[in-house]
Chains A and B, each alone.
Chain A
Amino acid sequence: MGVELGATGAKAAIRRVLHLMRKEVLELKQDPRLFGVVIIAPIMQLAVLGYAATTDVKDVPIAIVDADRSTASRDLIHRFETSANFKIVGMPGSTDEIDRYLDRGEAWMAISIPANFGQAVAANRSATLQVVADGTDSNSTGVAMGYAQTLIAGYTQDLAAAAMPGQPVGALVRPEIRVWFNPRLESRDFMIPGIIALLLLVVTTNLSAMAIVREKEVGTLEQLSVTPLARWELITGKLLPYAAIGIIDVVLVLVVAIYWFEIPMRGSIALLFGMCVIYLMSTLGLGLFVSTISRTQQQAMMTSIFFFLMPMIYLSGFIFPIENMPAWIQPFTYLIPLRYFLVIVRGIFLKGVGLEILWPQALALFAWGATVLALATFRSSKRLG
């Protein structure tokens, strides 16, 4: 890299890079479907996955066994019916039938109202409801149990208010909970910036992972190595066409996120765009690096998926917060560029913060990209030399 170039030398270098880029674009056009795949697929994916990736729990399917059939039990069932959190999928006649509902996964939860429920409520005595829940999806079940508890607490409070009109009902210490940045607790606002980062990673890394190894496999790398093309020129010429595709993808997914999903954009779009470009440097650089260490395209594919993409997806904090991970795994997450980029996109989108807060992440991301590009250049030199 650090070679001093004269004016003519620089011109020649630029010409060589441009030629290589032209060749690369021609090769990409060999299968015109590529453009469709890398441009249209990410938008479609974002549109579908954006709706699907929600940890919000609603319409919990429940089955209710009403052994009482009193006014009180019907009142309680009515509350479950009208609640947006629950959807009654069945009213089995006896508790024995609950098994079937839970085994098949038709209902997540079954509530059984005992025969003396109405009497107990009328006489101001205590009553017990049995709630059986399918604990398979531990997270959603926890949330659903919370919904059931809240609904029943509300019912109890209404009963108390009816029993003692005029008396205030409430606790001694009251929590006032404020949720910052995402007051509606919309998981979509959290997930979609993450999906953007992931889509860019998958599309661009895979594109460039094939770039050099294809020439090796077909045998044209030999030919390239006898041309006066320097190794950094090779890497640049390979990188730029893919970078162009990546930037188109960035613009498209940002438009979908902001205008279609209406994710709040509290920070600067220009900064976000700039950060995406730095991020592309590391994803494309990673692909090129994989390409230089593989012998066949299949190897490149396996290496990039199993050694880079999967660890990045799961260890970056995309879905599973890093602070929940065991202490011995956490240090590894610092090696993952996606980790830094996620903090940056979420910070700019949801918190509206700028470089004054995000500079350490931005710096780490840039360093990562520069290092991997340098590694790719270095590796390709050994192969070419």
Chain B
Amino acid sequence: MSEQTARLESIRALIAAHKRWDLVFATVGVLALMVGVLTFVALFAQMMIDGAPRLSWDFFTNFPSRKPDQAGILSAWVGSTLVMIVTAATAVPLGVGAGVYLEEYAPKNWMTDLIEINVTNLAGVPSIVYGLLALGLFVYGFGLGQSILTAGLTLGLLILPVVIVATREAIRSIPAVIREGAYALGATKWQTTSHHILPYSTAGIMTGVIIGMARAIGETAPVITIGALTFIAFLPAAPFSGDPPAGLFDWVMSPFTVMPIQMFNWTSRPEAAFHQNAAAAGLVLVVMTLSMNALAIYIRYRLRKSIKW
């Protein structure tokens, strides 16, 4: 009898020992997550402490300067905004078009396979390689120079895979019933696509576009590689301004700087006062990218909850 009890006891001890490992690992898992959380907190706190005192109206309306306390990010945020306009104008039509083609039109042949493999591979190309492509092709090949147009096109190509993948996923989640209904009423393929498929997938496409744009706005390496200047103390010409009057799109050929480059410039200077400017610029940049990402996550969350086909 006592032998049985002893065995039971030893089995219980064994189970308890193994269950303890469950607890240990769950703790380790939470700790590992905490490393991420702590890094995020430290990063944000460091920039807040350093940069927040520099954030003022003047910081947004001043040009960069040799005097750290007068320097601002006017040319940088204007440049970033203009580059993003060109990027969106490149990536959205091309990405959505390619996504629609691959999901709705593409026949099953080697060309389609090639495009699909290619999109997957492009997503893994380091961003600086896009910079080299742009330097060889846009800057010197097409003679576009170190302009807003070059930067916008480069970043547009960079985020193209993101937009294509998001478009395809959004379209794929639309049930076949919708298409069949449209075809049954005599709609052509494009009518089905433009009246039904695209409107229903807009929210999904938007998440992809926003995530892509958030990535593009923080990209530094490709924009530096094309040779963007780090010190710009003027703004591109406004449409229809100047003498002789400039056209609507003259600003695309203007030299520029962007937020991450401005931040890089200030970070790589030895003076601590410029590091404060870098922190303030970084804060603006992080708030911008994080709010864009949060918006995308929120749209996706809403989408998952609300859609019932």
A and B from one complex: no
On A, residues with C-beta under 8 Å from B are none
